[in-house]
Amino acid sequence: MSKWVRAHTNIALIKYWGKEDEEFIIPKNNSLSLTLDAFYTDTRVTFDSSLKEDQLILDGEEQDASALKKVSTILDIVRNKAELTDYALVESINYVPTAAGLASSASGLAALAGAANEASELNLSAQELSRLARRGSGSASRSIYGGFVEWEKGINDETSFAHPIDNANWDIGMLFIIVKQAKKEVSSRDGMQRTVTTSPFYAGWLSTLDQDLTDMKLSIAEQNIDKVGAIAERNALKMHATTLGAQPPFTYWTADSMIAMDAVRKLRKENYSVYFTMDAGPNVKVICKQSEMDKIKKALLAYFDEEQIISAKPGPGIQVLENR
């Protein structure tokens, strides 16, 4: 039965950067994220015998074959499991700027997995949904769940999935500084592949991740915002350092990204619990206490316009929308 399904974005605090298996999207390391309420995707899948091919309508516009590639990967898996032969109409509304480093693929592919599950009546478990979403986008495996989520790298398709570790029901939030909403020049997938194959810094990054993950999980258990933020900030900087060693070198940072990072450091000197992280894009995410978010946002207005700064709290896992 066709139903609208909503999935929220997640922002990785311990980054996923590099694949062990390109086809099945098996990562080289475990990662850990926080699902957030501010950005999300709503998707509905309808299997229709009259269609001659899969069709994707994103924000009211039909998408081309390249946009359909990840979508059809997930649909093919569902069709195979459910023994369906019909093509599908996928309607998706993205409340996230696409391809701007704001995890639109995470929410988009997680919502697609959920919607395809509803349409096919497969009744997949959350773990199975996480595995399915991963086949479209690695980070989507984490958007099946709310709060803090760890993606176990596993060794194959069956063992690589995410699971929740903490509901994040404590004094933590995130501010998004939107410095640029244009489509980025180097996609996450291409940037990741180039870094893994050509950057001499990549091995150093990979060797530090297990300790980062251990320290992060302990800090979350302690609900220690300063430890969580400091580990996340350093982990992000290490990831971005690998791109500078790639051949050819590249970076997702812009001049405004640097201004945002510097602003966060200045606020920290003023005794705010405030730290930054960045994914494969120019926008900066500010990890902070929910109780301090309004004051921090006000301080950031010295550098950025109000519409560039978006507040987010921990968000829920995937939801079937009965009354959309």
Strand, helix or coil at 123? coil
Give yes or no for a contact between 246 and 199, defined as CB atoms under 8 angstroms apart: yes
Domains within the chain, CATH numbers bracketed: 4-168 (3.30.230.10), 173-312 (3.30.70.890)
Residues contacting 208, CB < 8 A, separation 6+: 238
Indicate if the pLDDT at residue 323 is higher than 80: no
**In the structure, what pLDDT confidence band is assigned to residue 306 with cuts at 50, 70 and 90?**
very high
3-state SS assignment for residue 220: helix
Element (H, E) at 72: helix 65-82
The answer to whether 201 touches 247, Cβ cutoff 8 Å, is no
Task: Write out pLDDT tens, residues 242-257.
Answer: 999 999 999 999 999 9
Interval 4-14 mean pLDDT = 97
Query: pTM of the full predicted structure?
Result: 0.95
Average pLDDT over every residue of 171-200: 91
For the chain, give the percent of residues with pLDDT over 70. 97
Classify residue 114 by its DSSP letter.
H
- pLDDT greater at residue 320 or residue 99: 320
pLDDT score for 194: 97
Which among 33, 2, 201, 49 has a CA at the least distance from the CA of 106? 33
Average predicted confidence (pLDDT) for the chain: 95
Phi–psi pair at 56, nearest 5 degrees: -115, 120
Query: In this structure, is the dihedral angle defined by the CA atoms of residues 242, 182, 290 and 32, taken in order, positive or negative?
Result: negative
Helix axes 126-134, 104-120, angle to 10 degrees: 120
